Amino acid sequence: MPELPEVETVVRSLFPCLTGQKIADYQLIDAKVWRGRNLFFLGNLKGKLITKIWRRGKLALIQVATGEILIFHLKMTGRLIWVPKASPRPKHTRFILNFQEVEEELRFVDPRRFGFIACRRSEEVEKETAPELAGLGPDALTVSWEEFKKIFGQRTARLKSLLLDQRLIAGIGNIYADEILFRARLNPLLPANYLSEKEWQLLWQKIKETLQEAIKYRGTSIRDYRDGANQKGNFQDRLLVYGREKQACPVCGQKIARSRIGGRSTYFCPKCQKLLN
């Protein structure tokens, strides 16, 4: 699933392409990916200028001059790509935005069709009352130490479960939860109330460092993920534990173990990430 670094990379790669473009038309090929308000609002987008594109958690948001905002969630296999109109259309293309005076178009492609598109008013997005935003915790890339400590300081659940809870902190998924915890030398099964103040601060730092490094390398392409230019990321070559079961730990040489937490495969080093010291 595209997580914060992948969506951030998509947004950054699409920003110079989309900003300032006028929408000519749209094609909703699969209505099942449309969520929320009446399709009438899509018609209002014609002829309107795109003014902004940004990310919130795992969501990509595109604002038009009408004040309407398109929200995209890529879920498991979604792609948001800027490609020539004449290029072959993938089988699983669900939605297309066409633009005036350019030979490219924006395509939303999603083989498993878990992703969705919504259209919300700007005030719903700004106040985070839109259903897609309501209840999201602070963004994992920008959360302050004070916010982080307040949110997690009194929790007792397992660390990995907490990092995956979008209501607490938005943007971290299965891949980066494992990578962050390994870099912080914390066991994913460890109850949060066992951490010292120093360990909490280290975890907060490793969240920032890991996500920033993943963005630098344009995200992780293990299966479906591509950026806005339809190119693979490179962070898969820098993964230290995720997907590396029975391979040697890059720090101590012990074999990486795999467990399941909340139905998710979880990778860690039993030596570097001891459950209890």
Write the CB contacts of 269 (distance below 8 Å, at least 6 apart in sequence): 182, 241, 249, 251, 252, 254, 256, 257
Contact at 8 Å (CB) between 260 and 36?
no
Sheet holding 23-28, edge to edge: 23-28, 93-99, 104-109, 79-84
| Choice among 2, 55, 107, 160 that is catalytic | 2
Structure tokens, 204? 């907060």
| Choice among 6, 8, 56, 58 that is catalytic | 58
E strands, 89-241, where? 93-99, 104-109, 116-121
The torsion defined by the Cα of 115, 219, 231 and 246, in degrees rounded to 10, comes to -100
Q: Is 90 a catalytic residue?
A: no
The torsion defined by the Cα of 269, 272, 273 and 277, in degrees rounded to 10, comes to 140
Q: Is 206 a catalytic residue?
A: no
Contact at 8 Å (CB) between 148 and 134?
no
Q: Is 48 a catalytic residue?
A: no
Structure tokens, 109? 């492609």
Contact at 8 Å (CB) between 71 and 80?
no
Contact at 8 Å (CB) between 60 and 82?
no
Q: Is 58 a catalytic residue?
A: yes
- CA distances, 2 to each of 170, 193, 206, 211 (Å): 13, 29, 19, 13
| Choice among 48, 52, 264, 271 that is catalytic | 264
Give the active site residues. Answer: 2-3, 58, 264
